[in-house]
Structure 1
Amino acid sequence: MDAFKKDQMIPGRRAVLRIAAVLGAVGLTRLLSAGEAAHTPGRPATASPPAGSPAAGPGAAAVPRRPSSYRLSPMTEFQPPEYRPARLPVRREPLLELPDLGRSMVLTFDDGPDPHYTPGVLKTLRRHDVRAMFFVCGEMATGQRDLLREMADDGHVVGNHSWSHPELPKLRPGRIRAEMERTSEVIERTLGRPPAWFRAPYGAWNRHTFEIGADLGMEPLAWTVDTLDWKSPGTGKIVRSVMDGAAPGAVVLSHDAGGDRSQSVAALRNYLPGLLSQGYGITVPRP
C-alpha cells in the first residue's frame, strides 16, 4: 500500500514540476525582454525634456535621451566607439600652433554662438569655402543649437570653451569638471559626438584643466595670433594683426560673441581673401 501511494504521487509531482518550469520560462522571457528594451541600441529609455526646451510643455512627447558619457559611472558600452571620448595623454601646456598642416592656418572664434554675429562669420567662411574652429560656451550654445548644427553641417570644428567662461584655475577641481562636462554634453546631444578640442577661457590653464580635458577626450588648443578684437580696436587693426602674424600652422584667435563683435565680422571679410591670395590654406585639425 505504501509503495502504491508513492507510485501515485510521482506523476503528481512531475505535473507540478512541469507547471513550475513553464511559469519560470515565461518569467525569464519577460525579464530578458525587459533587459533588452533597456539596453539595446536604438531603443533608448525615454525621459522628459529639460525645462525650457522646445519639446517641453503640456502634451509634449517624451524625447529619447542617451545616457550621458560624462558621469562618474558612464553607461557607454552600447555607444558607437567613435562617439566615446578617447583616452588622451595629459599635456603640461596647450598646443600653440599646428605645424603639420603645411602652408595652412587655423581661424578660431571664441565665446559664441551669438545670434547677432555668428551667422555673419559663417556666411563669410561659406562664401570662401573654408573651415574654422568655434570654441563655444555652454550657456550660449544651449539656446543656439541651430547654430551649432549649422557649424557642423558646414564642416567646422565645434570645441569646448567651458560653460560660463570663468577663470578655471581659480575654481575647485569639481567646479572645473562641471564647467567642461556640461558644455561637452550640450555639444554631444546636439551634434551626436563629443568635442575633441578644448580652450580655457582667458588662456588660463592649470594641471586640473589638462587632466580633466584629457579625461573627457579633448586636446587643449591655445593660439599664436591674438587679434585683441575683444577690445574693439577697429576693423583695420584686426586685419593688420592677422596679416602680420600669418604663417604656416598659425592659430588665429578671434571672437564671435561676448560683446559687440561687428568689427570682428567685418575684419574677417577683409583678411580672409587676403590670406587666400597669399597662398595660405584655411583649414581645421583632425584629431
Structure 2
Amino acid sequence: MKNNFKLRFMAGLAAVMCLAGMMSSCGNSGGDSSSKKTADSSKSESNEKTQDGKVFMENTTGTSDGYSYELWKDKGDTKMTITEGGTFSCEWSNINNALFRRGQKFDCTKTYKDLGNITIKYGVDYQPNGNSYMCVYGWTRDPLVEYYIVETWGSWRPPGAPEALGTVTVDGATYDVYKTTRYEQPSIDGTKTFDQYWSVRQDKPQGDGTKIEGTISVSKHFDAWEQLGLQLGNMYEVALNIEGYQSEGQATIYQNELTIDGNYSADPAPVVTKNGGGNDDKPEDPADGAGFFTSDFESDESGWTQRGSSTVAQTTDEASEGKGSLFVSGRTDNWNGAAIMLNSEVFKQGGTYSFKTDAMQKSGEDATLKFTMQYTGSDGDHYDQIAQQTAPSGEWVTLEGDYTVPDDATNLILYVESPDSLTDFYIDNASGIGDGSEPTPSTSDKKDDTEYTFSDPVAITNTADIAWIDKDKPMVAISFDDGASATKKTDPAYRIIDTMADNGFHATFFYVGNWIKTEEQVKYAHEKGMEIANHTTTHPYLSKLKPAEIRDEYEKCREKLKGIIGEEPSAVLRLPYLDGGGDTTKTLNDVALISCAVDTKDWNNATADNIVDTIKKAKENGSLDGAIVLCHENYEATAEAMEEVVPWLKEEGWQVVTVSELFAANSKELMGGKVYTKLS
C-alpha cells in the first residue's frame, strides 16, 4: 500500500475527528474582534430539510468523501453546498462574519512533520464583494495557534497593522509572514490568549476572470514560520477556507485536493528572508535605563491589540502628549481592553521592570482604570495588579508601578482595563523599562556567547572497502536522506536497501538523529553494507547557528549512530537544506560536507517515472558519472524508481557506490570543511 494518499480517495482514514462542539476562533477581519465557534454537530431544522442534498444554511460540521466540512457564521444569510472530492460552493450576505471550509481535522497527537508533507491543489471561482479572503486555515495545540495561508482576498488584505517578520517564497509566489495575538478570545480550548500565524501572498494570483488555480505547499509555509521563530503544535485542522466579514459574495471551489503523503521531508527549503525588525529586534541594555518598549501611538497601534471583544485603533482625537493615542472601544466586559504581549527574551523571569501609561476615559463620571500583568505560572494563569487609579471623566491619569517577573512566569501580557465600567478609554505614552537588575543569564544564554576556536581543515580518514569495485567502470553515489522510520520490510526504505544489496551495490543513508524511529532499520542498512552517515540531530539551517551549536548538531547525531551500529559512522554529513553557510565550513573542519549534483526532486512529488528519467538523462548527458545523487528514503515513488533504475544501471555497466567509496575508488581525498557535489 502506498504511503502517499489523497484524502478524497481515503474517506475517514487520514484523521480522527476532534470532539464536535468545541469552541473555535478565526482571525480579525478588517479590524473587528468577532470570534468564530466550531459549529454544533446537531443540525438546525433548515439543514435537516436539505441534508440529503448536502446543502446547509446554518452552522454545521461533518464529513463527506473523507473531507471534513464546516459552516460557521455569527449572523446573516449563508449557504454551503457540499460536492464530491472535497469541493463545495458558498454564498453569503448580511453577515458579520462567516467561514466555509473543507479539509481534515486531526486528533491533536501529531505535528505536521509527523503527518507528512501537506499540499493543497485548488481551483476556485471567487467572487467577493467587500472584505473576504480565500486561504488555508487551521489550528494547532501545545502551543495553541490559529493559522492562515492567504492566497487571495477581497477589499482588505489581512492581517492589517503588524509589520511582517519576513517573507517566504514557495510555489512560485512570495508571501509576507506575520504574527498577531488574540487576547482572551474563544478558541478550540475555550477562552484563551493565543497567537495567529499568517502567510499572506504579496500579489493576488492571476487567473481566468474570477477563476484562479494553484498549489499551496502547506508544510513549506510551516517550515518557513519555524525559521522565523513561529512554532506550531500538534495538528487540529487543515482546510481550504472562504471567509467573509461584513460583506457579501459567492465562491465555487471546484478543486480541493488535499494530499498528506505520510513522509515529511524538509528538503528543499523554502526561500525565507527575515526583516530587520520583528523577532530580530535586540533590546537595549537595561542597565542603561533604556526603554524595552515605548509606545507613543503617533502613527499606529505600536504592537498593542484588543483584549476580549474590544476594538483598538490609533487616533488623533486625543493625546496626553504629541498628536496621537490608542482608542479602546466596544468593550462588553470589564476585563476587555488593550494589551501587549511581552517578549520573554527581554522581560525575563526574576527581572524587575517599571511599567507606565497615561490613560483617560470620557464616560461623564468617574471610572477606575487598571494596569494588569497576566502570566501563566506552574499552577495556572495569574492576573497581578501593577497600578490602579480612579480617573475623572475627561482627565488624563498616569498608571505606573514596578513589577518583578515571577520565576515560573511565561506568556507575559500587559493590559489596561476598567474593572468597574464598560467605558471607552484612551492610553498614551506606554512604556516598560528595566531597573538595571536583570537576572543572571541562563546556561543556554552563556552557551551562545562561548568563544569558539577554529582549526585548519583536516583530511578525512576514509576506510571504505573498495575491493568489490571495478575502477574502470563508471560509478555514481546515490544517497538517501531523512530516515529511519520504516516499520515493515515492504516500506520504501527497506525496499531501497534490498534493491541496492540484491544488485551488489551500496548507497549512503544520511540520518537525522531525532527523526530515527526504527533503530533496527539503521542496523539493517549497516549489515547490508550501506554507509551510515550524519544529517545532524534536528535538521536546522546550520548557517543560522553559532559554532558551538553547529558542532553540537553533528556530535549528538554521531553519538546516536555510533550507539546503534557499534562503530563510528562515516565522517560525512549531508547539509540540511543543502545549507553550508555561516560558520559551517569553519566549524566542521573534520567533516566532509555533502550536497548533490543530481537532484531527483522526490521531495517535490516527483513520480517514479520522473526520478528514473532524471537519472537516465544525467547518464546520457554525462553528468551522472562521479555525481552525488539526492534522494529520500521514505517515498514510495523513490523505492519504485530504484527498483527500476538500479538494475538498469547494472546492465549498462555502471556501479552504485557510497560517497566514501566513490572517493576512495578514485584515489581522491575527502577534506573536512569542504562542500562536495560530486567527485572532485
For the superposition of Structure 1 and Structure 2, which TM-score range results when normalised by the shorter chain?
A: 0.5 to 0.7
- The alignment partner of 2:543 has SS state of helix
Provide closer, same or farther for how the CA distance between residues 170 and 213 of structure 1 changes in structure 2, counting only shifts above 3 A: same
Q: How many angstroms apart in 2 are the aligned matches of 1:135 and 1:251?
A: 13
Tell me the alpha carbon deviations over residues 47-68 of structure 1, each in whole angstroms, 9 at most, x when there is no partner.
Answer: xxxxxxxxxxxxxxxxxxxxxx
| Aligned counterpart in structure 1 of residue 608 of structure 2, from 221, 231, 235 | 235
Is 1:277 the counterpart of 2:651 in the alignment? yes
Q: CA deviation at 1:243?
A: 1.1
Tell me the alpha carbon deviations over residues 150-207 of structure 1, each in whole angstroms, 9 at most, x when there is no partner.
Answer: 1111111111111121111122222222211110111112222133211111110025
Matched with 1:104 is 475
Name the amino acid aligned to 2:613. Answer: R
| Aligned counterpart in structure 2 of residue 251 of structure 1, from 604, 609, 628 | 628
| Aligned counterpart in structure 2 of residue 161 of structure 1, from 535, 543, 557 | 535
Q: How many angstroms apart in 1 are the aligned matches of 2:585 and 2:525?
A: 26
Q: How many angstroms apart in 2 are the aligned matches of 1:183 and 1:134?
A: 13
Name the amino acid aligned to 1:266. Answer: E
Query: In the alignment, is the contact (CA less than 8 A) between 1:161 and 1:200 conserved in 2?
Result: yes
Tell me the alpha carbon deviations over residues 77-136 of structure 1, each in whole angstroms, 9 at most, x when there is no partner.
Answer: xxxxxxxxxx95289xxxxxxxx8851111100111121421121121122121000011
Provide closer, same or farther for how the CA distance between residues 262 and 149 of structure 1 changes in structure 2, counting only shifts above 3 A: same
Q: How many angstroms apart in 2 are the aligned matches of 1:283 and 1:176?
A: 28
Matched with 2:492 is 117
Q: How many angstroms apart in 2 are the aligned matches of 1:275 and 1:194?
A: 27
Name the amino acid aligned to 1:254. Answer: C
Matched with 1:130 is 505
- The alignment partner of 1:120 has SS state of helix
- The alignment partner of 1:198 has SS state of strand
- The alignment partner of 1:111 has SS state of strand
Tell me the alpha carbon deviations over residues 245-271 of structure 1, each in whole angstroms, 9 at most, x when there is no partner.
Answer: 1332111110013xxx11111111111
Q: Which has the higher helix share?
A: 1
Query: In the alignment, is the contact (CA less than 8 A) between 1:102 and 1:249 conserved in 2?
Result: no
Name the amino acid aligned to 2:612. Answer: V
Query: In the alignment, is the contact (CA less than 8 A) between 1:188 and 1:195 conserved in 2?
Result: no
| Aligned counterpart in structure 1 of residue 580 of structure 2, from 201, 205, 208 | 205
Query: In the alignment, is the contact (CA less than 8 A) between 1:101 and 1:248 conserved in 2?
Result: no
Name the amino acid aligned to 2:481. Answer: D
RMSD of aligned C-alpha atoms?
Answer: 2.2
| Aligned counterpart in structure 2 of residue 266 of structure 1, from 627, 632, 640 | 640
Name the amino acid aligned to 2:575. Answer: A
- The alignment partner of 1:158 has SS state of strand
| Aligned counterpart in structure 2 of residue 222 of structure 1, from 595, 598, 609 | 595
Query: In the alignment, is the contact (CA less than 8 A) between 1:168 and 1:176 conserved in 2?
Result: yes
TM-score of the two chains, using structure 2 as the length reference: 0.26
Q: How many angstroms apart in 1 are the aligned matches of 2:531 and 2:472?
A: 15
Query: In the alignment, is the contact (CA less than 8 A) between 1:110 and 1:134 conserved in 2?
Result: yes
Name the amino acid aligned to 2:632. Answer: H
Counting aligned pairs with the same residue, the percent is 25
Provide closer, same or farther for how the CA distance between residues 177 and 101 of structure 1 changes in structure 2, counting only shifts above 3 A: farther
Name the amino acid aligned to 2:573. Answer: F
The within-5 A match list for 1:54-93 is 88-89=457-458
- The alignment partner of 1:194 has SS state of coil
Name the amino acid aligned to 2:514. Answer: E
Q: How many angstroms apart in 1 are the aligned matches of 2:588 and 2:523?
A: 23
Matched with 1:188 is 562
Q: CA deviation at 1:278?
A: 1.5
Q: How many angstroms apart in 1 are the aligned matches of 2:581 and 2:606?
A: 30
TM-score of the two chains, using structure 1 as the length reference: 0.60
Query: In the alignment, is the contact (CA less than 8 A) between 2:600 and 2:606 conserved in 1?
Result: no
Matched with 1:178 is 552
Query: In the alignment, is the contact (CA less than 8 A) between 1:102 and 1:248 conserved in 2?
Result: no
Query: In the alignment, is the contact (CA less than 8 A) between 2:534 and 2:569 conserved in 1?
Result: no
Query: In the alignment, is the contact (CA less than 8 A) between 1:90 and 1:210 conserved in 2?
Result: no
Q: Which has the higher strand share?
A: 2
Name the amino acid aligned to 1:130. Answer: F
Q: How many angstroms apart in 2 are the aligned matches of 1:181 and 1:112?
A: 18
- The alignment partner of 2:589 has SS state of helix
Q: CA deviation at 1:231?
A: 0.9
Q: How many angstroms apart in 2 are the aligned matches of 1:157 and 1:211?
A: 25
- The alignment partner of 1:206 has SS state of coil
